[in-house]
């Protein structure tokens, strides 16, 4: 058949395909006992340790609500219930446009001095909870909340620092397109996302992403190959 | 020809006004007007004697009668206030048909035989209304509900509040009345142009001719005009008593006492609904206090109310925004709950495998609501508007979203994509300076005074940083005719030295950050 002949005659699978397949293998394989992966946005997934958001884990995001929405978009579009606690400035319209389902998004903008109780209560019922903790959170409370998360299998995404987080995500070299000196309007942004895992032996993963691109989607900047993957030597392994 | 039913029609003049005065506890001789779309819809007798009439503009009405109390017209209140009247009439005469709030029809045969005559029946009816504190009601008795209603409306106030048109006299009674009473304005205008000004003139036309010329609606009007109204009085089926109330003697002054005491009433309320094969998706709670105040509120539920949900709503209503330990300003004497919208229980039965996840989430979020208050847990929908904070409509968990402005409209001047990820709940004060260290401004022609060079996200001089790119001004001029909601500002987009973009607005020479693209 011509189609299979074409497949046979083509050269080794392209880099894209290899990465795609590896990502899928990683998502299916549980790296530890009893950990479950959540559906994750493909642009972010391969940067995260384990290749996906993990149920019961905590991730911390430094100073970028858009990156936080990118993390939230994956599980939310797959049907998970999400909550946002203690962030009165969360832009619901941007969330909706970035693929977060507002019908399954719950906002608790002002938990007041009951932040821990409220977060623990919503962690019981929601799959992904985004929060900005108050300035001082005692280590004991952090440990209790982490235990609760592991027990309930919920994922916590914290804006700001958080001890015992699975990975820490940050952005750098933000470059906006479309705006000049007194003309144009903001259309898209390229940014370098760096993910530092909990294990200090892991090399920080980073990639240049559109956050967002002109169609308000998240994707990798395609003309530049991700450094992280080159460094890990996957390319050579795959080809050879 | 169909047989004509002898009918009693009870008419309460100015019912909307009477209902509003009852609701707000206003004295009967106060000048009151109800306003619908800035025009007077109804007014009390006192207001009418000062020259206020239906259809007048509000300003003109207030000019004629300076002490006028103005309320918005609420058709739901009309219907709700007439309900006890209907119930009271049903106590003494069976088979009441609601024509419209303020007017009802009753078949005359039974009551006139029971009370020993039509006049006696009418007197009994008026006495019943007098017991309810409603004065000035009129009664008309004639052949057919239409003629009876006209008879009721033809009575004068004072002593002659009953008018009885003898059996068979209805055509003569109707004949001199104007054609406009048929309630079909287009037909009435046309007939007047044809030289037919009274019901009698119209009735004199041949039935076949009228049907050919004016169709079915015209033929029906012709039958009414001729006093041969064959409409039956269709008695309503009295609704089941589904509401439930609890009175407290002595009055209770703590919220937890009230909610505990109301628990049994809430159980009875839900049990009554279940017996009737219904579930409730919206309730109305009325709370009466010792000082005579009443507080009313409607509560909605995304699924259906259980007894615990009803108790929760009572607590939230009492609590307002305070915490559960806070005392009440006045002790509570009575709490009443009534269903506002009900649905068949079959539509809400959980499936064989249960609606597991949703129920669990609802319970969890209700718990958070009972900790923080009803409006602390929100869901968002995107509505219309130009200012970002206005576009995101936040609705308390459990309430239905009602978007004030439609999102699908174009909204010229709204922001192009992408949407900013951080929208400040309260705009932040920022500083924007030109190269010469002067604050940048926009003149009255909409021109910017100079290019933006420096930007401080906290408005303090120590945080000043150079600006990488900027654009603007994009003016927003909204509702200039409305002093309270008018808005006139200029928008800018600015990218600061760290690569973070900001959406700024310049309002009355002051700079604010509306949102941040971070």
Where does the pLDDT of residue A225 fall: very low under 50, low under 70, confident under 90, or very high at 90 and above? very low
How many whole angstroms separate alpha carbon B19 and alpha carbon B55? 19
What is the C-alpha R_g of chain B? 32
Of A6-20, A64-78, B362-376, which gets the smallest average pLDDT? A6-20
- Match 């703590």 to its residue by tokens: B254
Alpha carbon of A210: minimum distance to chain B alpha carbons (Å): 12
Of all residues in chain B, the one with the smallest CA distance to A95 is: B421
- The pLDDT value recorded for residue B492 is 93
Alpha-carbon distance B14 to B157, whole Å? 13
| Residues on chain B touching A65 (C-beta within 8 angstroms) | 421-422, 516, 518
**Mean pLDDT within B127-135:** 86
Contact B368 A122 (CB under 8 A): yes
Mean pLDDT of the region B366-390: 86
Give yes or no for residue A220 having a pLDDT over 50.
yes
Distance between CA atoms of residues B454 and B507, nearest Å: 18
A132-174: per-residue pLDDT in tens? 988 888 888 888 898 889 888 899 999 988 888 889 999 999 9
CB pair distance less than 8 Å for A180 and B382: no
Report the pLDDT averaged over residues B271-278.
88
Which domains occur in chain B, in start order?
A: 1-12+75-239 (3.30.70.270), 244-364 (3.30.1490.100), 377-414 (no CATH), 422-517 (no CATH)
Chain B nearest-CA residue for A127:
B361
3-state DSSP assignment of residue A84 = strand
Does residue B514 contact residue B427 with C-beta atoms inside 8 Å? yes
B416 CB neighbours in chain A (<8 A) are 185, 187
According to the model, what pLDDT value does residue A28 have? 67
Residue B292, Cβ neighbours under 10 Å: how many?
9
Distance (Å) of CA A238 to CA A12, A18, B246, B409:
9, 7, 76, 52
Sign, CA torsion B486/B492/B496/B502: positive
Residue B508 in contact with partner chain A when CB distance is under 8 A? no
User: C-alpha distances in angstroms, B156 versus A97, B101, B162, B198?
Assistant: 65, 21, 9, 21
* CA–CA separation, B423 and B389 (whole Å): 7
B407-451 pLDDT, tens digit per residue, is 677 888 888 888 999 999 999 999 999 988 888 999 888 889 888
Orientation of helix A115-125 relative to helix A139-152, angle to 10°: 10
Domains of chain A, first to last: 14-239 (3.40.50.300)
B357, B372, B424 ranked by CB distance to A112: nearest? B372
Please give, rounded to a whole number of angstroms, the shortest distance from the CA of A7 to a CA of chain B: 40
How confident is the model over B197-211, as pLDDT tens digits?
999 999 998 889 999
Place of tokens 């190959």: A225
Q: Which residue of A has its CA nearest to B373?
A: A111
- Judge whether residue B234 has pLDDT over 70: yes
Tell if the CB–CB gap between A64 and B381 is shorter than 8 Å.
Answer: no
Q: Which of residues 444-473 of B touch A (CB under 8 A)?
A: 448, 451-452, 468-472
């Amino acid at each position: 058949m011509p189609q299979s002949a074409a497949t046979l005659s083509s050269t080794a699978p392209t880099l894209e395909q290899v990465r795609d397949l590896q990502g899928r293998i990683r998502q299916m394989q549980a790296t530890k006992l009893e950990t479950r992966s959540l559906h994750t946005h493909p642009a972010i997934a391969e940067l995260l340790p384990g290749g996906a958001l993990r149920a019961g884990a905590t991730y911390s995001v430094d100073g970028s609500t858009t990156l936080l929405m990118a993390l939230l978009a994956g599980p939310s579009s797959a049907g998970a219930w999400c909550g946002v606690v203690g962030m009165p400035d969360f832009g619901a319209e941007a969330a909706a446009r970035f693929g977060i389902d507002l019908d399954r998004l719950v906002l608790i903008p002002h938990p007041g001095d009951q932040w821990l109780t409220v977060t623990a209560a919503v962690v019981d019922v929601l799959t992904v909870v985004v929060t900005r903790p108050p300035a001082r959170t005692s280590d004991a409370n952090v440990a209790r909340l982490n235990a609760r998360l592991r027990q309930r299998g919920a994922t916590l995404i914290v804006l700001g620092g958080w001890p015992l987080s699975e990975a820490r995500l940050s952005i750098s070299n933000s470059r906006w397109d479309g705006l000049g000196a007194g003309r144009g309007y903001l259309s898209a942004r390229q940014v370098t996302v760096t993910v530092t895992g909990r294990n200090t032996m892991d090399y920080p993963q980073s990639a240049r992403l559109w956050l967002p691109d002109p169609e308000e989607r998240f994707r990798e900047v395609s003309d530049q190959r991700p450094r992280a993957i080159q460094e890990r030597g996957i390319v050579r392994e795959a080809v050879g | 020809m169909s047989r004509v039913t002898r009918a009693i029609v009870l008419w309460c003049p100015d019912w909307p006004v009477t209902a509003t005065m009852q609701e707000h506890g206003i004295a009967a001789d106060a000048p009151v007007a109800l306003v619908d779309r800035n025009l007077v819809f109804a007014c009390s007798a006192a207001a009418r004697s000062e020259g206020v009439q239906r259809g007048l503009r509000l300003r003109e009405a207030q000019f004629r009668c300076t002490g006028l109390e103005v309320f918005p017209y609420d058709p739901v209140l009309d219907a709700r206030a007439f309900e006890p009247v209907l119930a009271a009439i049903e106590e003494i005469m069976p088979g009441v048909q609601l024509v419209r709030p303020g007017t009802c029809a009753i078949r005359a045969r039974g009551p006139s035989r029971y009370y020993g005559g039509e006049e006696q029946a009418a007197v009994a009816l008026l006495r019943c209304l007098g017991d309810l504190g409603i004065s000035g009601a009129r009664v008309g008795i004639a052949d057919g509900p239409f003629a009876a209603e006209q008879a009721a409306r033809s009575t004068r106030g004072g002593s002659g509040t009953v008018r009885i048109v003898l059996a068979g006299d209805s055509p003569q009674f109707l004949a001199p009345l104007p054609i406009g009473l048929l309630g079909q304005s287009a037909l009435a205008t046309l007939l007047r142009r044809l030289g037919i000004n009274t019901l009698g003139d119209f009735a004199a036309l041949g039935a076949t001719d009228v049907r050919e010329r004016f169709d079915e609606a015209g033929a029906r009007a012709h039958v009414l005009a001729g006093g041969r109204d064959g409409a039956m009085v269709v008695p309503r089926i009295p609704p089941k008593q589904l509401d439930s109330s609890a009175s407290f003697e002595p009055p209770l002054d703590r919220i937890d006492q009230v909610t505990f005491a109301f628990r049994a009433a809430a159980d009875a309320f839900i049990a009554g609904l279940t017996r009737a094969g219904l579930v409730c998706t919206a309730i109305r709670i009325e709370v009466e206090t010792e000082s005579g105040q009443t507080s009313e509120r409607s509560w909605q539920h995304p699924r259906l109310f259980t007894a615990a949900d009803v108790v929760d709503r009572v607590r939230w209503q009492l609590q307002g925004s305070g915490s559960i330990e806070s005392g009440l300003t006045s002790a509570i004497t009575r709490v009443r709950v009534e269903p506002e919208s009900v649905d068949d229980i079959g539509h809400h039965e959980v499936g064989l495998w249960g609606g597991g996840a949703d129920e669990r989430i609802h319970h969890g979020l209700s718990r958070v609501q009972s900790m923080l208050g009803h409006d602390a847990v929100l869901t968002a929908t995107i509505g219309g508007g130009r200012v970002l904070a206005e576009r995101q409509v936040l609705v308390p968990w459990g309430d239905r979203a009602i978007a004030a402005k439609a999102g699908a409209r174009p909204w010229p001047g709204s922001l192009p994509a992408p949407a900013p990820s951080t929208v400040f709940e309260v705009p932040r004060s920022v500083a924007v300076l030109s190269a010469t260290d002067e604050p940048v401004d926009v003149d009255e022609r909409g021109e910017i005074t100079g290019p933006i060079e420096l930007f401080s996200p906290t408005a303090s001089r120590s945080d000043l940083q150079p600006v990488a790119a900027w654009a603007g001004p994009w003016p927003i001029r909204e509702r200039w005719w409305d002093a309270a909601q008018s808005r006139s500002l200029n928008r800018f987009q600015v990218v600061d030295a760290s690569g973070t973009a900001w959406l700024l607005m310049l309002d009355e020479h002051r700079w604010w950050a509306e949102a941040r693209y971070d």
